Amino acid sequence: MKEETLARALHRYERSPHLVFWETTKACSLACRHCRASAQLGPLPGQLTTDEGRILIDQIAAMDGPSPIVVFTGGDCFARDDLSELIAYARSRGLRLGIAPSVTERLTREVLEELFALGVRSISISLDGSGPESHDSLRGIPGHFDQTIAALDMMRDIGYRVQVNTTVMKRNARELADILSLLRKSGVAIWEVFFLVGVGRGRDVQEVTPRDAEDICHFLVDATSYGMTVRTVEAPFFRRVQSERAERANEDHRAYSGAGELYDSLREGLDRETVSEHRATHSATLATGDGRGVIFVGYDGEVHASGFLPIPLGNVRTESLGDIYSHNALLTSIRAGSLEGACGRCDYRRLCGGSRARAFANSGRVLGDDPCCIRTQTSLTLLQV
């Protein structure tokens, strides 16, 4: 990303976020082993009412700067009976919208066509394995893999712009090339890869190592040559890998990156694919991160830097979202790049900035090092020598 483009993006994020995630409810009929929200069958007491949801939408529409994209998520946003009403109201306020439902019995063609008629065009659902064995075991529902593939076909048939979210962890990291192949066959061209953070039920699931995270990032850069737009969540170091690869485009990255066995394995799977004639947009270079271009509103109105960072910053019932985002001291420190340790010394701290959620989950320090980045591990090794 060019310096002037990065500077403009960061300046914009001082005033307003690019993305507002609204956890409309905790209710969800799935039992995913890595669930950030620890979702449950029914809604929790204190969930924002329809009228309070309208007030939140008004707050978002009133935020300074370009209008954010609002993503209705959960739990399962389809578990809210007033979802269509809230979406219609958000559209009347001129907001750009996305929905992120769970694949359950609530996700029907009738509901999808209704929301499409209201003007929703972007939708994302999760796929965490290349086949039923891995995906179903993570989602906790037999037959869920087949339901997910059918849902992808239905959404594309209606006309949605479909994004697939994959949470990467130790148990499925070696399936990423096969998942990519499956997405291409399903006509999906936007892939958002979440790097697991140990919160919620995810505390009991093993994250990838820094070495493997680096290998995965190099694989994901390669994947953009196969017609896939790749984005990452809680892995902003992907942008650093992209930048390094672009700066040394005439070199074989394996010679300087120390690419490991996982990369070789994923690359072998990728080599079986047909290279696309059209390179995808590197939308990951938006330089967003926890509290920097991204803000999360919980089911009860509590505001967080992201859904993976459980530090309350205020509540939209008593403060406007715009004021919280612009003036909260923790958020201003994050956006200023006032980081500690190796992240604070890194040349890529403005482009990357590390996962603040993972730093907090690992050490209790929001501004500390992201332990999944190989650069922080290298720094620790040098300090110990």
Statement to judge: residues 362 and 284 lie in one domain:
no
Residues linked to residue 99 through DSSP beta bridges, in sequence order? 72, 123
Query: Is residue 166 domain-shared with residue 284, that is, in the same domain?
Result: yes
- For the chain, give me the number of helices (H) and strands (E)? 16, 10
Q: What is the pLDDT of residues 14-68, one digit of tens each?
A: 989 999 999 999 999 887 777 755 657 788 999 999 999 999 999 999 999 888 9
Which pair of structure tokens corresponds to residue 240? 């650093």
Number of folded domains that form the chain: 2
pLDDT at 285: 53
Give the model's pLDDT for residue 257. Answer: 79
Q: In the Cβ-directed half-sphere of 194, how many Cα atoms lie within 13 Å?
A: 21
Whether residue 353 sits in one domain with residue 227: no
Residue 298 maps to a domain: no
CATH number, domain at 277? 3.20.20.70
Coil, helix or strand at residue 233 = strand
Parallel, antiparallel, or unpaired: how do β-strands 289-290 and 293-297 relate? parallel
Q: What is the pLDDT of residues 152-194, one digit of tens each?
A: 999 999 999 999 999 999 999 999 999 999 999 999 999 999 9
C-alpha to C-alpha distance for 155 and 161, rounded to whole angstroms: 8
Same domain, 276 and 370: no
| Listed range (278-282, 321-325, 340-344) with the worst mean pLDDT | 278-282
347 has a pLDDT exceeding 50: yes
Asked whether residue 117 is assigned to any structural domain, the reply reads yes
- Region 352-376: mean pLDDT is 96
214 and 362: one domain? no
Q: Which residues contact 22 (CB under 8 A, 6 or more apart)?
A: 56, 70, 71, 72, 73, 297
Q: Which two tokens stand for residue 46?
A: 């204190």
Q: What is the mean pLDDT of residues 207-220?
A: 96
Percent with pLDDT over 70 in the chain: 93
pTM for the model: 0.92
Helix, strand, or coil (residue 293): strand
Alpha carbons 22 and 14: distance in angstroms, whole number: 20
Range of the domain at 222: 3-290
